[in-house]
Amino acid sequence: EKNITLDRAARIELSCRLDNKYSHLKSLQVTWKRGNETIRHMNKTENSWSIQLRILDNSNLGGYSCTLKGEEISAMFHLQGKNYFVPKIEGKEKPIVSYEGDTAVMICKSFGYTPIAWTWYMTNGSEQIAINDSLLADKYVINRLSANVTHLKILKLTKEDDGVYWCEAAFELGKSKGKLKLRVLSLMVPLKPFLAIVAEVVILVTIVFVYEMYSKKKEKSAEDEKEFDQVEQL
């Protein structure tokens, strides 16, 4: 049993060779299969059987086996695509934060492997919806700056744009996705601390004003009482 990992489309040859300890067996017949589907072998020597494969995409991956007819002897090959060409997201894993009315830019990069194509998705509940910037040109702009870098620009942000976005890179032997989060804040959010300070100042000024009015009123009452006493004495 053998695992074979591929990172791109390729031509490969799988070969089974019968060990010398089975050389006494006569009328050897070997069957090649991909899963349950029988494949005809291409090359045969005295104790060796081979098949040649053209791996174009992930539909050609999977298990291949050769089995010696009439004997409990077989070999298994597992063809798989590399799983470390997932597009990496530029920057930290923290959400991208922007404000209503602004523009947000999200970036995806693929390191080491060049995608055939990029696709951007937005999340609507549990469903992922592909973003078509040609139909919604006033809302989305998708730029492929290079073969390995893609940008999604979202214009005129609203609270509805808040959520999770995905960039998907298509490779010869499969697809992989990167995840980004966008938080859209109301313009009132940065104003809240300022408004709180203004409110505190207004309250403080009001208290001082009321206190001064009260003090003046008290002083006037005291003067009136004093004047009354003087008149009474006279």
pLDDT in tens, 186-219: 876 666 676 678 778 888 888 887 878 877 777 6
pLDDT value of position 232: 63
CATH superfamily placement of domain 92-187: Immunoglobulins (2.60.40.10)
pLDDT value of position 209: 79
123-180 pLDDT, tens per residue? Answer: 888 889 999 988 888 999 998 878 888 999 999 999 999 999 999 888 777 778 888 9
What token pair was written down for 79?
């063809």
pLDDT band, very low/low/confident/very high, at 84 (cuts 50, 70, 90): very low
% of the chain beyond a pLDDT of 90: 23
pLDDT value of position 85: 45
Mean pLDDT computed over every residue of the chain = 81
**For the domain bounded by 2-81, which CATH number is listed?**
2.60.40.10
Between 115 and 57, where is the model more confident? Answer: 115
pLDDT value of position 228: 56
pLDDT value of position 154: 94
**Res. 52: pLDDT tops 50:** yes
% of the chain beyond a pLDDT of 70: 84
pLDDT band, very low/low/confident/very high, at 6 (cuts 50, 70, 90): confident
CB burial of residue 189 (10 Å; 0-12, 13-18, 19+):
exposed
For the chain, residues classed under CATH 2.60.40.10 are 2-81, 92-187
Q: DSSP labels for 73-97? A: EEEEEEEEE-S--PPEESS-SSPEE
Q: What is the mean pLDDT of residues 36-41?
A: 82
The angle at the Cα of 60, spanning 117 to 47, to the nearest 5 degrees, equals: 145
pLDDT band, very low/low/confident/very high, at 88 (cuts 50, 70, 90): low
**Res. 78: pLDDT tops 50:** yes
What token pair was written down for 10?
């390729």
Q: What is the mean pLDDT of residues 87-107?
A: 78
Q: Which residues, other chains included, contact 9 with Cβ-Cβ below 8 Å and sequence gap of 6+? A: 54, 55, 56, 57, 172, 173
Taking the C-alpha atoms of residue 144 and residue 106, their distance in angstroms, rounded to an integer, is 12
pLDDT band, very low/low/confident/very high, at 104 (cuts 50, 70, 90): very high
